[in-house]
Chains A and B, each alone.
Chain A
Amino acid sequence: MEEKESEWLKKKPWFWSLAFASVIFRLILILFPNNLNLASRPEVSTPLTSLRRLAEGYWLKQASMSPYAGSMFHGSPLLLSILGPLTVKRFEGQPSHILCSLVSVIADFVTAMFIRSTGLNLQKAYNQSLKSLGLFRLLENSEIVSSGDIAALVYLWNPFTIISCVGLSTSPIENLVVMLCLYGACTQQVPLAAFGWVIATHLSLYPAILIVPVILLLGYGPDTPPRKLLLQRNSCKFGDAQSSDSSFQDKELTNQPVQPIFFSWKPVVYFFLWALMWALYVLVLCGISVKDYGGLREMFNRTYGFILTVEDLSPNIGVLWYFFAEVFDFFRNFFLIVFHLNILFMILPLAIRLKHRPCFLAFVYVAISSMLKSYPSVGDSALCMGLLGLFINELADIKFSFFLFCGYVGVSLLSPVMHNLWIWRGTGNANFYFATGMAFACLQIVLVVESVGAMLNHDRKMRRLSTTNS
């Protein structure tokens, strides 16, 4: 393994130099944070991820009060006990919260590494399936760029990631656990996947929907072209009479290096057992830490309750804050249900259509939740863009890519300007800022829709190619 790594190092010096350059760039930004003032940007720190609120929660806890008193802190008590002590440590001549920033930098780097190895894993599986399909022509094309490296670099050098890392928010850590879950599922390490999923759900609730892709990953293995295609292909190879006989098919396939086509229940059951264990463990730990402050019920009210009943109406890059600031109280509950169901409604159709590509499904879920969550921040979009990099080969012919790129650049430049006009200068009003949030949401919708479309088209192309080949 190490030899392989060194081989990689020799082979791809540019990757490592760029990765370390990004870390150094972050460190430089951390040492000069005062001019940037990123920590107070609404795009970076939401009520859920703001480190300043975490410090307030820690202060309240030190003053033997509930950390949730005062509607300031809405995060996990575990994160509070890990990051809390770091918020009060000060060093002479160093900016405050330097330890927390270092933690975010490390978290970012580790996340990038997880993305990279997930990408390598995906690529291996992809090459294998292409080989088994006999599409060597496609394989040669894809050998040029390693999608894992690209994705890791996209994640590391994405301005969104950098500002959410430097801007003192907890989203790098949330991204890390989400990525941990996907990596564990991709490499069939069930305990790791279960741990990542439980912690990610505990931290920000929305990754709970990732259970669908994780189960598919564990059951079917990493992304492949549609199974029907493989079945066709195999039946073409091994004769036609027994194509419907699945037992024979199975026997034949066990000799093949191809991933198991049929759903294997064993890792999934293991996953559930592990998840149950981790969840109990986390709950017990949380229960101990909030024992004197109203217990778990209070914790769920203040974290999940706060997420679900969009209580804080301070502006962010999403659209829900303004919606709920303006909507009539009578309809509030109705719209809360509608918006949250909007996320849930799409789970099943996507899972049915993309069940052969669980990693891509996970990307789509992450993108959807980063768009529709109650308090979105750029850190969430950063993860979804990093994951997008994993499918660079498949999504090569995505539509509107230039438009999307320009849109993202434009929105991320306009959003601070509009915020400044509204909040600081008072020359603009809330609609200005809301418009950029709207544009951002539209861009993300277009990105999700187009990437799903491109992926489906890619599968169609493969089917066409394989049928013409055979």
Chain B
Amino acid sequence: MISSDVLLATLVLAPLIGFFINGLRFRSSDCQTAGIIASGAAIISFITSVVLTLRLVALPKDGRQITAHFFDWMLVGDFSAQVSFLVDPISAIMILVVTGVGSLIHIFSIGYMSHDARPAKYFAYLNLFLFNMLLLVLGDNLLIMFVGWEGVGLCSYLLIGFWFTDKEKAAAGMKAFITNRIGDAGFLLGIFTLFFAFGTVNFAELAARMPEVAEVGWTGPIALACLFLFIGATGKSAQIPLYVWLPDAMAGPTPVSALIHAATMVTAGVYMIVRMSHVFVLAPNVMMLIAVVGALTALLAALIGFTQNDIKKVLAYSTVSQLGFMFLGVGVGAFMPAMFHLMTHAFFKALMFLGSGSVIHAMHEEQDIRKMGGLAKKMPITHGTFLIGWLAIIGIPPFAGFFSKDEILWYTMAGKMGHPLLWLIGALAAIGTAFYMTRLMALVFWGESRVDSKVHPHEAPLNMTIPLIILAVLSLVGGWVGIPHALAQFIPGHPPHLLGDWIKPALVPLDLEAGPVVLELILMLVSVVLASVSAWFAYDSYLKNKARPTEIKERLGKAYDIVANKYYVDEFYFGKIINPLVGLSKGLWAYVDVNFIDKTTYFLADLVQGGGRALRSLHNGNLQQYAMYIVVGLLLALFYVLY
């Protein structure tokens, strides 16, 4: 039997080796070879993840932990940063999702990038991303997590700007990196605060120290640390106010959007909070803030989704919105449901992004949904799988999204830390989701074709459709691992809540005291009915009464414009923060450096020079003058002595 250390090393290093192989032959245009190398690395990681998870399953329920210590990274004073990994039920889910969905996306990319000039470079970056993402989820301390955290940001930057000859794409990459850096600065402050309060940044040690702590309020180290870490999460996971980079990030190749900007990297913030659940529960104020930010992000992003005409932008805002749901979940203490939604969302959103990639590929890089329509007939597999993703995201049972989203909403309504108002915002966001996703389906796949006559859409090749089919299956059955007790009692055999049983021992013990089963069933029914009605309304508006959307738009007038322009947040950031800062900097340079400091030194230099010149005239070699100095001097001396 191979030791777990070796397995963990293989898991992490396989993609790194893939990165080096493809990175060194970055000029190669052979997509097949590069893709096979990179996918091979991803699949090796996936297999090791499965083996590790199986080993975890074999362990007793309370001791499900596999750890490996590799080396000391930094040892300074009493600060030590260890390169050591932890596989527990939480990170096991993450490594399975990251490497599993990651492998599928690698394989899909072989087809998608086949016409690109630099596929080897692309696959190298993709593998580098996997490596960093695995560091992020496997690290047993905040510092290793931060290494991965910044590393995935770097890969995101490189991949968003992959087609860097386009200025806008390069700018999108830069925007992503810098926005994320704002979050990262918060993350760093969080690490410092925790280290000074508890002398460690190791997750297990922190969790062990928590029971000693009794603190409430905003200013204690725990609340501050949680606040700082949450700022980090808003950057990486695109929450208000730092979500602005994610829609722009769609400039990258579509499989990248699927992997990084939907399924894995952007969920890192949720994972981090779940990982730190022992700490976060001690900062109830911050938890409330997280829930509010999550709920608002879910709703506001969903609203923007109504107005977008770029297929990827719709999906991007949908991702922001779904991440909002996850934060709403962790905010009300529903850590397990948040992880559940993270997982199902990875399946169905990766599916839909890859589906959109298939569509864009078929449409020759056209992304405007107003120029699509009727693609269902031309692309049956893409349509069929996308349909499953759509059913999953709008929350129709028995598709995956239903179970996870409803569980979050249930705890928001009935949990001890929830609030009916938050539930209402969440429910509105869910209704909105049903509307704009149906609109997307209607405009892309259904109705009559508006496709340009020069474009002949066709179904994608097998290496692209097979990942779609696998993800579609997962989007259906992925939710069955978490069938709520309220429903399970009606199903023969009473399936247990597998995910809950799996993950709860690794979380902070927390009794959310949810309400009666009847209420849960009623809420479930309500949300399914509302979603269906909303979906039907969208269907009717975009396929039957086509004048209606324009009518509504006109009636809304200004309000529509505000939403369509994304609440002018980008404009605000540029107009009120970035441009003034650049102006200030130019001012500093011109006035402080060039005019003030330099001019002052010139003045001082002139003073010295002038003084020297003035004194020089005293000794000009004129004897009479020297004689006069002597006389004056003697007189002065006499004067001094006499008086």
A and B interact physically: no
Q: Which residues of A contact B (CB under 8 A)?
A: none
